[in-house]
Amino acid sequence: MAAPPPTIGLIANPVSARDIRRIVANANNLQTADRVNIVLRMLAAAGSCGVGRVLMMPDTGGISAMLSRSLGHERVMNHDFPEVEFLEMPVHSTVEDTFGAARRMRAAGVAAIVVLGGDGTHRAVARECGDVPIAGLSTGTNNAFPEMREPTITGMAVGLYASGRLPAEQALVPNKILEVQVDHGARRDIALVDAVISTDRYVGARALWRTESLRWLYVTYADPEAIGMSAIAGLLEPVGRREPGGCAVELCPASDAPKLTLLAPIAPGMVRAVGISGWQRMGADQTFRVEQQAGVVALDGERELTFDPGDVVTITLREDAFRTLDVSRCLQIAAAEGLLRVLAP
């Protein structure tokens, strides 16, 4: 009996990068055709490096339909192009689609899940992927978590790993998360990059794009070149993505005098002055209790969890929470070990 072909999952968010920040910050918005072209380039490269089968999340935003029309032509032009199967699942056009697709892909035993989206989409997949590693392609707004990279290169790295030519200890790296709990776990969620405490009492427009109501910022890592709320911490005390620990920043209310004022790029094209009261490092498994009495917790740039007076809200940094594909290292090892050299017939 022949072994099953190397299989990967593919989740492409059809509505990422369409929040209010795209309007107020004059940022670009990828069209459906652009997303399909990204998918096709990644699939062609993954197929050339050994992937034979792809399980893909269906959608009603046009990606599935447009991609389906292109698949026949791609297979004629490229005999290594993998077979694409759309998951049989209900489609609600909400984040529940991403949760459900990630769970189904994990149950199907895919080698990796390729994700097209921003920080929020990658957070949703990380919640449900378990031990299955993620390979991210940045198509969102802030994109502090997924790296900007040509999808062909990501597809090659995924193919090398999925086909077994690169073992997990070479191809994969661990990632940190922030574990957020309300009332000792009655409600819980995670953030991949940042959790922000706001005095807002409602979710409203989900994306954060104003700083006046923000009180605390917690980050797993902080890059001075990042865009988004994590940039505030990155310009105060940078913390590496692979470095232990994180950082907690206290933001100053407008009524108080800040310890310092910082210019930070909180969205593409949007640099704002932010008052800072103080900051400190976060250690692994160190729990911080939120002092704000009521408000909203925003996870990776989007308002998610409301809390009321009397609710207990805690933020804990967890290390080695899930794995991602280290695309750069995969290609460097492939070059050093000649994994992509083709012998003459």
Domains of the chain: 7-165 (3.40.50), 176-321 (2.60.200.30)
Q: Which residues contact 102 (CB under 8 A, 6 or more apart)?
A: 9, 11, 113, 124, 125, 127, 128, 129
Q: What is the pTM of this model?
A: 0.90
Q: 181 - beta bridge partners? A: 188, 314
pLDDT per residue, tens digit, the chain (345 aa), is 667 899 999 999 886 544 444 444 445 567 889 999 999 999 999 999 999 999 999 999 899 999 999 888 887 787 889 999 999 999 999 999 999 999 999 999 999 999 999 888 999 999 999 999 999 999 876 578 998 899 999 999 999 999 999 999 999 999 999 999 999 889 999 999 999 999 887 655 555 657 788 999 999 999 999 888 899 999 999 999 999 999 999 999 878 899 999 999 988 888 999 999 999 999 999 999 998 889 999 999 887 899 999 999 999 999 999 999 999 999 999 999 999 998 877
Q: Can you tell me whether residue 23 is helix, strand or coil?
A: helix
Outline where DSSP puts E strands in the chain: 7-12, 53-56, 83-86, 113-117, 134-138, 172-182, 187-191, 194-198, 214-219, 246-251, 260-267, 270-282, 287-289, 295-299, 302-307, 313-325
Q: What distance in Å separates the CA atoms of residue 192 and residue 249, rounded to the nearest whole number?
A: 16
Our CA angle for 178, 208, 310, nearest 5°, is 60
Q: What distance in Å separates the CA atoms of residue 30 and residue 15, rounded to the nearest whole number?
A: 9
Token digits of residue 35:
């997303």
Question: For the segment 223-276, what is each residue's pLDDT rounded down to a tens digit?
Answer: 999 888 899 999 999 999 999 999 999 999 878 899 999 999 988 888 999 999
